[in-house]
Amino acid sequence: MRIPIDQDTRVLVLTGAGVSAESGVPTFRDAGGLWEGNRFEDVASPHAFARDPILVWRFYSQRRAGLDGIVPNAAHRAIAALEARLGDRFLLATQNVDGLHAAAGSQRMIELHGNLMTSRCSSCDRAPFEDRQVYRDKQVPVCGTCGGLIRPHIVWFGEPLDGRDLDRVDTFARDAGRHLVFVAIGTSGIVYPAAGIVDEARRAGGSTWLVNADRPANADRFDHVAIGKAGELVPALFGT
* Catalytic sites, residue numbers: 113
Residues 121-150 that bind ligand BJW (CB under 6 A): none
User: What is the pattern of x (binds ligand BJW, CB under 6 A) and - over residues 38-77?
Assistant: ------x---------------------------------
Site string for Zn ion, 12-51 (x = CB under 5 A): ----------------------------------------
The entry of Zn ion, ligand BJW, none near residue 53 (CB within 5 to 8 angstroms by kind) is none
22 binds ligand BJW (CB under 6 A): yes
Q: How many angstroms separate the CA atoms of 225 and 239, rounded? A: 17
Binding-site member from 120, 216, 221, 237 for ligand BJW (CB under 6 A): 216
In whole angstroms, the minimum distance from the beta carbon of 179 to ligand BJW comes to 26
Nearer to Zn ion, 50 or 227 (CB): 50
Binding residues among 151-210 for ligand BJW as defined by CB under 6 A: 154-160, 186-188, 190-193
CA-based angle 234:111:116, to the nearest 5?
105
Of 100 and 121, the one with the shorter C-beta distance to Zn ion is 121
Query: Minimum Å distance from CB 125 to Zn ion?
Result: 8
Binding mask 1-20 for ligand BJW (x = CB under 6 A): ---------------xxx--
Single out the residue of 5, 112, 121, 211 in contact with Zn ion (rule: CB under 5 A).
121
Q: Is the dihedral of CA 56, 57, 62, 66 positive or negative?
A: positive
State the nearest-atom distance from the C-beta of 140 to Zn ion, in Å.
13
The answer to whether residue 124 forms part of the interface with Zn ion (CB under 5 A) is yes
- Non-local (6+) Cβ contacts of 2 within 8 A are 236, 237, 238, 239
Quote the CA–CA distance of 237 and 172 in Å, as a whole number.
Answer: 21
Strands 10-15 and 150-154: unpaired
Chain contacts with Zn ion (rule: CB under 5 A):
121, 123-124, 143, 145-146, 148
Chain contacts with ligand BJW (rule: CB under 6 A):
16-18, 21-22, 27-30, 33, 44, 95, 97, 113, 154-160, 186-188, 190-193, 212-214, 216, 229-230
